[in-house]
């Protein structure tokens, strides 16, 4: 990558946008960073995905810490899901290296938009009490099955699996939104690390300048937005989350359509 004002701005904006999405909605950095690096700076999709995954690691970790401190994190079931997610992240990452650029980028963009619409039209208003009433064995089995699907996807599209994690945790496992996001970013911090290592091992190290800029900007955005999300009311958080995801999705669709 040629170092210039444009490249610096793209990396910072992509990182901040990804960080806000991570801290606020558990969104993976791939939904923002990958499309922007591919579209505006001409990065190969696989390298852009590697940068997105690396950016996800610290952003997800600081978000998980913030949600955990506010008691919005289910570590027990998160660890069960994490085991299957990690295994299939490696498999998904390998498959991704064999897939054309456009197939990888378009999937994450459309998923972002559709998930945003879902939170606006059908907000998640489940309470922690409802989740606590579920049978532990059922939740464990569901976590393992869902982890298999999520792991493959997070390795394939260069995500910590944020979009799929949030969708499955709220819709299938019945988590309330804040705990879903907290558990999602907790899992993402591990899956993103695994995915980044496997991407770099297969495709080589990415551009160091772009990597550092994206990682730092994503970390800052995630920290600030996670603090805000934990203080927000559930109804307002649903609307804000939906709007952020939908707008990001539409923006990336427009960029791909008219570039």
Q: What is the pLDDT of residues 200-241, one digit of tens each?
A: 888 788 889 999 999 999 999 999 999 999 998 888 888 888
Could you tell me if 224 and 22 are in contact, meaning their C-beta atoms sit under 8 angstroms apart?
Answer: no
Could you tell me if 158 and 49 are in contact, meaning their C-beta atoms sit under 8 angstroms apart?
Answer: yes
Q: Work out the average pLDDT over 68-79.
A: 90
Confidence of residue 182 (pLDDT cuts 50, 70, 90): very high
User: Number of structural domains, the chain?
Assistant: 1
Say what the pLDDT of residue 160 is.
Answer: 46
Range of the domain at 159: 5-258
Q: How far apart are CA 203 and CA 210, in angstroms?
A: 16
The mean predicted confidence, pLDDT, of the chain is: 82
* Model confidence pLDDT, tens digit, residues 83-116: 888 888 778 777 777 766 555 556 666 767 777 8
Angle at 141 between CA 137 and CA 143, to 5 degrees: 115
Q: Which of 37-46, 58-67, 94-103, 172-181 has the lowest mean pLDDT?
A: 94-103
Q: What is the greatest pairwise CA distance in the chain?
A: 56
Q: How far apart are CA 49 and CA 142, in angstroms?
A: 28
């Amino acid at each position: 990558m040629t170092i210039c004002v444009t490249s610096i701005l793209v990396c910072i904006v992509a990182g901040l946008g990804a960080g806000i999405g991570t801290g606020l909605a558990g969104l993976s950095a791939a939904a923002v960073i990958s499309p922007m690096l591919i579209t505006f700076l001409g990065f190969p999709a696989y390298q852009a995905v590697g940068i997105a995954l690396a950016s996800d690691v610290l952003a997800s970790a600081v978000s998980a810490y913030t949600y955990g401190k506010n008691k919005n994190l289910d570590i027990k079931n998160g660890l069960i899901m994490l085991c299957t997610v990690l295994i299939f992240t490696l498999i998904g990452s390998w498959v991704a290296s064999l897939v054309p650029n456009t197939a990888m980028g378009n999937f994450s963009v459309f998923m972002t938009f559709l998930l945003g619409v879902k939170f606006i039209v059908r907000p998640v208003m489940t309470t922690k009490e409802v989740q606590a009433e579920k049978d532990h064995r059922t939740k464990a089995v569901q976590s393992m099955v869902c982890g298999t699907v999520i792991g493959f996807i997070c390795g394939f599209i260069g995500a910590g699996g944020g979009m799929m994690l949030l969708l499955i945790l709220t819709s299938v496992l019945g988590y309330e939104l804040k705990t879903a996001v907290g558990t999602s970013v907790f899992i993402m911090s591990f899956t993103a690390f695994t995915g980044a290592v496997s991407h770099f091992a297969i495709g080589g190290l990415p551009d160091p300048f772009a990597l550092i800029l994206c990682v730092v900007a994503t970390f800052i955005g995630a920290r600030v937005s996670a603090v805000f999300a934990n203080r927000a009311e559930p109804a307002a958080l649903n609307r804000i989350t939906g709007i952020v995801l939908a707008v990001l999705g539409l923006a990336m669709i427009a960029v791909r359509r008219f570039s």
